[in-house]
Amino acid sequence: LHWPVSAVQSETPLPVQSNRNKMKVSASLVLLLAAAVLADDRCPPQDDPEQPPVLLAHPTDCDKFLICNHGTPVVSKCPPGLLWNDSQKQCDYPSQAQCAPGVTPNTEPAPKPSPNCPPEYDPDHMVYIPHETDCGKYYICDPYGVELEQTCPSGLHWNPVVNYCDFPELAQCEE
């Protein structure tokens, strides 16, 4: 923020603001805070090809999470009914997720890009891939074309028709 020097150094009392001016200032502060949330400094400025992408809790929405891409957080959404579990780095039942936005992630060795993931990442059209052998697991494609393994909450199977964890009888997965 930049303040006019005259307002800072003036010994003359500043005029009292009207409610309309206070509302404008409040709205401006809200917009600045929203912009600060989008420019999340938890994302490293450079991607490390030897490490998996950094996954972060969304700062305000428990049903979303962030995938860091060259210092910029890309918003991703959990399947319906699930919330981001930052300690497990996956979407989970609300009772297990213990949503606490803003927790710093841990990193693990980087997986290799997958031919199953599209060459260009589109956060509005997440790509989900069923696990090859486990009905309770699936993958999401990150911005680098890497499949990130996810586990459905206990008792649910991945349903590729609707792209979320579902009751086994509806998912109709054969292990």
Residue 54 confidence (pLDDT) above 80: yes
Among residues 83, 64, 73, 70, the alpha carbon closest in space to that of 37 is found at: 73
- Per the CB < 8 A criterion, the answer to whether 118 and 141 are in contact is yes
Could you tell me if residue 71 is inside a domain?
Answer: yes
- Per the CB < 8 A criterion, the answer to whether 51 and 58 are in contact is no
Could you tell me if residue 47 is inside a domain?
Answer: no
Could you tell me if residue 34 is inside a domain?
Answer: no
Among residues 59, 68, 44, the alpha carbon closest in space to that of 148 is found at: 68
User: What number of residues does the chain have?
Assistant: 175
| pLDDT recorded at residue 112 | 61
Among the residue ranges 46-50, 76-80, 133-137, 145-149, the one predicted with the least confidence is 46-50
Could you tell me if residue 148 is inside a domain?
Answer: yes
Specify the number of domains making up the chain.
1
| pLDDT recorded at residue 40 | 65
> Which residue is listed with tokens 């074309």?
145
pLDDT tens-digit series, residues 88-131:
888 888 888 887 655 443 334 445 667 788 877 777 788 899 99
Could you tell me if residue 13 is inside a domain?
Answer: no
| pLDDT recorded at residue 81 | 82
Return the bridge partners of 84, or none. 91
Contacts of 89 (CB under 8 A, 6+ apart): 55, 105
Q: Is 159 exposed, middle or buried (0-12, 13-18, 19+ CB in 10 A)?
A: buried
Q: Which domain holds residue 124?
A: 55-171
Could you tell me if residue 91 is inside a domain?
Answer: yes
- Per the CB < 8 A criterion, the answer to whether 129 and 147 are in contact is yes
Residue 166 confidence (pLDDT) above 90: yes
pLDDT tens-digit series, residues 136-155:
999 988 777 888 889 999 99
Q: Average the pLDDT over 32-45 and give the result.
A: 57
Could you tell me if residue 20 is inside a domain?
Answer: no
| pLDDT recorded at residue 39 | 55
| pLDDT recorded at residue 170 | 95
> Which residue is listed with tokens 């001016």?
21
Query: Average pLDDT of the chain?
Result: 73
Could you tell me if residue 31 is inside a domain?
Answer: no
| pLDDT recorded at residue 37 | 40
